[in-house]
Amino acid sequence: MSNTRNVLKQMNDNLNESIGVRRTELRPQLSPIAAARDIGRRGNRAFGQIEIDRIQPDPDQPRTEFDPIALEHLAGSMRDKGQLAPIRVRWSEPLATWLIISGERRWRAAQQAGMKVINCYFQELALSPTQILEEQLIENLLRVDLRPVEEAESFQKLMTVNKWTGKDLAAALNISPTRVSRALALLKLPHEMRVRVDEGELSPRAGYELSKLSEPQLAQVKHVSQPLTVEQASRVVRQRTGKAQPTSRGARQTFIAENGWQIVAKSSRKGTYHEIEAALVEALEEVRLRIDNRVNLL
């Protein structure tokens, strides 16, 4: 009998439903409210677009200065061609916002270009402060416009973070240990000289030569107003330290250009053409620096 009643009740409910009569009010089941970090993101959680004003620079980002001219050039490229490379961001629970791990320059340029959204890689797994700093420093080191002292400071921070030696750092970045040691030598210079190196008034090679002086000796030459060439800096070091000019021995190569100039490359030891090439590249940078500073040819 109970089964018969249940069947009749179900038939009656179905009949009422068919003519629009319901015993209870049915409401659509709403999805849960999205967390703040998920607003505006798509199904692919690792990559997507997000409103540009929902992203902030990392307050602990080691890079603080951005070339305004380079930013405007990048902004113009973004207006014409769009964003070609995504930035990388992580969620900060204390700040309730996305912080930039890498790509702050692109983010700033996108703002200047008037973009409303920006392509991002979302870092889902938590990173330690050491990992974040290491990624930011390595990204800075890959920049073309990195200033010499900025590079040296990034080298130093990476070595401190990872407890690396200069050789460890050189191996990790696939650069020569000489580049690391010469860069770190710039940090021994007084603040005024480091500023001149970054502004191009003093070449990194000349700064490296001057770093061989002691602090009292550096204090005596740091206020020199005219640009110093590598040769002049070496001469200052020899005069202050009392060291004689090294005798010429080892390797010597002469290259004759079509315009009549002769380029002489010499070293106190035997070397390779690859080393000569690296030396000529540095010499070319020195020549360009002298042209920019209108140094008269003696």
| Same structural domain, 104 and 182 | no
Domain presence at residue 113:
yes
30 domain residue, yes or no: no
Instruction: Say what the pLDDT of residue 76 is.
Output: 92
Cβ atoms of 169 and 183 closer than 8 Å: no
By DSSP bridging, strand 117-123 and strand 55-56 are unpaired
Is residue 260 in a domain? Answer: yes
Residues 239 and 162 grouped into a single domain: yes
Decide if 207 contacts 234 (C-beta within 8 A). Answer: no
pLDDT of res. 204: 86
Q: What domain count does the chain have? A: 3
241 and 253 housed in the same domain: no
- Is the distance from CB of 92 to CB of 98 less than 8 angstroms? yes
Chain-centre distance for alpha carbon 171:
19
Give the per-residue pLDDT at 25: 53
The confidence score (pLDDT) of residue 284 equals 85
Shared-domain flag, residues 44 and 121: yes
Report the pLDDT value the prediction gives residue 155, as an integer from 0 to 100. 87
pLDDT value of residue 293: 72
Amino acid 226: pLDDT: 65
| pLDDT at residue number 150 | 83
Burial level of 278, CB count in 10 A (0-12/13-18/19+)?
A: middle
Q: pTM (2 decimals)?
A: 0.54
List the domain range (segments joined by +) for residue 287: 249-293
Query: Does 1 fall in a domain?
Result: no
Task: Compute and round to an integer the Cα radius of gyration of the chain.
Answer: 32
118 alpha carbon, distance to own chain's centre: 19
DSSP assignment letter at 217: H
152 and 121, same structural domain? no
* CATH number of the domain bearing residue 233: 1.10.10.2830
Cα separation, 125 vs 122, in Å, equals 9
Q: Is residue 210 part of a domain?
A: yes
Taking the chain (298 residues) in consecutive chunks of 10 residues, what is each chunk's mean pLDDT? 58 57 54 68 75 89 77 90 89 90 90 93 81 75 74 86 88 84 91 85 85 81 69 80 62 79 83 84 82 73
Which CATH number belongs to the domain containing residue 68 in this structure? 3.90.1530.10
134 is a domain residue? no
Tally of CB atoms within 10 A around 158: 22
Residue where a domain stops, chosen among 245, 267, 285: 245
Q: Residue 22 has what pLDDT?
A: 55
Instruction: Centre a 10 Å sphere on the Cβ of residue 113 and count the other Cβ atoms it contains.
Output: 19
Same domain, 273 and 218: no
- Among 77, 93, 128, the domain-final residue is 128
